[in-house]
Amino acid sequence: MRSFHALVSILAGGALAATAAGCSRPADSRALPKTVTEPVFGGTVSVMVESPGTLDPRDVDDVYEAAIVNQIYDGLLEFDTNLNPVPAIAREWTISDGGRRFRFRLRDDVSFHNGRRVVASDVVWSFERIFDPDREDPGLGGEFLRRIKGADAYARGETSHIEGLEAVDDTTLVIRLAEPYGAFLSSLAMDQTKVVCREAFEAAGDDYDSCPVGTGPFRFDHVADHDDHPVIVLRRNVDYFRGAPWLAEVAFHVPARYTDDRAADALLDGTLTLAVVTGPREEAFENLETFRILRRPELSCGFLALNPSLAPVDDARVRRAIAHAVDRRRFVALDPASRLDASGILPPGMFGHSPDRKALRHDPDFARSLLAEAGHPGGEGLAPLRIVQVSRGDVGAEADRILAENLAEIGIRVEYEYLDWSAFSDRIDAGTAPAFTLSWIADVPDPDSFLRSLFSSDGAYNLVGYHNATVDSLLGVGSGMTSSPDRARLYQRAERIILNDAPIVPLYHLANNFVVRSNVRGLTITPFGFGNLTFEKLWLDPVTS
């Protein structure tokens, strides 16, 4: 993944714009009614993100990239607020052949930002480029689309076209699967399966991030400079097929080092319009009339990852000892408004979740006995556990202290290595971190988004190189089933095996805590959290600005 500093220099053509895009000035509030009930045009919404490595949906792998990409592009389908797949570029569809054949009728009024109308062959090309044989792997989008007939053969360079993709005419697309897949429609609403303009991508080549072209409600405009950091500015797409959005602009602030505390400070000083605020910082906003706090549970799991191929956690007994040493209650207590106790990997609200506890219980005495069994009584002879972390705010620092304290109780010493997000991602992708903490947010409302992506031997984001043949078999069978009790039981069995092998230790499930300015209207928050925010229908009330 490229560092964002390299990306910014490309976006700005070697120089940043002189000033950041400012908010539109509202009309004098003395001349306005006391309340505004109808949306009004204008204004800028400003948010803060970690350093994104791409503006190409195919390569999105974190919520910060997704938050930007979701404004620029559309997919065949999208998720409603309850995470059901609903029409977007596709107007309607039919399913036949036992769930193997999908026929989509596309809208005829959707255009790319360059003015060209979207046709079915654009979808075919966008999906085929996910499986480009020259790519090292098809990524997260490929993991969910690989059920398309012939996708794997195309990725291996054995064919010139994916057999299961057919543009019948400009507005008719047929997709054939090699086998039924219950989450397939949801996969067509993912961040990574958005539709990209072929001629724009091919003309830009390696510079595509400087001129991304989609169909979304906002189009890429420029990169501005705000004090000590760049700002990605998107402007209203006046030709958007569902009507122009109310906002004039969306501005994504990209500091060199993002923390929740920095975002909270920028919200208080007027730089930002909304932010995710956690822990004690939330209290600063609770009694301020100029802000509102919006909460919604998120399909996520925060966990400690342990790489089974790296010392000192290459022994399953050591990993299980760590799992039994962790006191999840203390991590939840750090921010009870944003965290729920994790009974397992799958979060509440996800198909396959069950409230019975599958995560290994907190039991320091048993943890010590496991270490002794592994030949390390009291941690004797055990190298310090190096935990790689993203630089964090006060709550994160306290969580690190608690984790180190938990492990010290059983004789394991901890060394932290702090990196920025880009360097952290590179380190995790390289598989060289013995341990790290991460929050994983579902890409689709299906257990495959957690269990298959993270723990299948061929999972696109098997971040710790975990392998278990029984788990692979259970997930392989389960992915081809519809959402039935039998399917849920398969995933729950796989989840128990994974947790006993302890490649991860679940810490908590998250809730979204968004602090927004009181003049914000029309903001929709889904269980996918920050990355799934869309500003298409958001508007700013000039009376309360």
- Residue pLDDT, tens place only, 364-422: 999 999 999 999 999 999 999 999 999 777 778 899 999 999 999 999 999 999 998 88
Residue 432 has pLDDT above 60, yes or no: yes
Average model confidence (pLDDT) for the chain? 91
Give the whole-angstrom CA distance, residue 145 versus residue 136: 16
Helical (H) or strand (E) element with 373: helix 364-373
Is residue 387 helix, strand or coil? Answer: strand
Question: In this predicted model, which residue has the larger pLDDT, 231 or 256?
Answer: 231
Which residues, 6+ apart, have CB-to-CB distance to 535 below 8 Å?
45, 71, 217, 218, 245, 247, 250, 523
Is residue 26 helix, strand or coil? Answer: coil
Which residue has 């054939």 as its token pair? Answer: 176
Residue 539, both tokens: 């508007």
Q: Comparing C-alpha atoms, which of 294, 398, 391 is closest to residue 338?
A: 294
Task: Provide CATH code, domain 300-510.
Answer: 3.10.105.10
Which pLDDT band, with edges at 50, 70 and 90, does 483 fall under?
A: confident
Give the whole-angstrom CA distance, residue 159 versus residue 133: 10
Residue 450 has pLDDT above 60, yes or no: yes
Report the alpha-carbon angle 188-425-141, nearest 5.
15
Is residue 223 helix, strand or coil? Answer: strand
Which pLDDT band, with edges at 50, 70 and 90, does 81 fall under?
A: confident
Residue 545: the pLDDT is: 61
Residue 138: the pLDDT is: 92
Instruction: Mean pLDDT check: name the lowest of 135-144, 320-329, 401-410, 431-440.
Output: 135-144
Which residues of the chain are in CATH 3.40.190 domains? 1-54+217-290
User: Mean per-residue pLDDT for 115-144?
Assistant: 96
Which residue has 């496991």 as its token pair? Answer: 370
Residue 168, both tokens: 């019948």
User: Mean per-residue pLDDT for 239-261?
Assistant: 95
CB of 165 closer than 8 Å to CB of 148: yes
Residue 482: the pLDDT is: 77
- Classified by CATH at the fold level, domain 1-54+217-290 comes out as D-Maltodextrin-Binding Protein; domain 2 (3.40.190)
Task: Provide CATH code, domain 74-207.
Answer: 3.90.76.10
Please give the full DSSP string across 416-467, using - where no structure is assigned.
Answer: EEEE-HHHHHHHHHHT--SEEEEEEE-SSSSGGGTHHHHHSTT-TT-TT---
Which pLDDT band, with edges at 50, 70 and 90, does 460 fall under?
A: confident
pLDDT tens for 187-221 read 999 999 999 999 999 999 999 998 999 999 999 99
Instruction: Mean pLDDT check: name the lowest of 10-14, 205-209, 261-265.
Output: 10-14
Instruction: Mean pLDDT check: name the lowest of 30-39, 113-122, 364-373, 378-387.
Output: 30-39
Identify the DSSP state of 116: P
Share of the chain above pLDDT 90, in %: 81
Give the whole-angstrom CA distance, residue 440 versus residue 423: 18
Backbone angles phi, psi at 216, to 5 degrees: -70, 175
Which residues of the chain are in CATH 3.10.105.10 domains? 300-510
Residue 30 has pLDDT above 50, yes or no: no
Residue 353, both tokens: 């979740």
Which residue has 């072209």 as its token pair? Answer: 213
Please give the full DSSP string across 126-149, using - where no structure is assigned.
Answer: HHHHHT-TTSS--HHHHHHHTTBT
Which residues, 6+ apart, have CB-to-CB distance to 539 below 8 Å?
39, 40, 41, 43, 246, 247, 521, 522
Q: Give per-residue burial for 79-95: e unless 16+ CB within 10 Å, then b.
A: beeebebeebbbeebee
Residue 335: the pLDDT is: 87
| Alpha carbon 41 to chain centroid, angstroms | 30
Give the whole-angstrom CA distance, residue 329 versus residue 341: 7
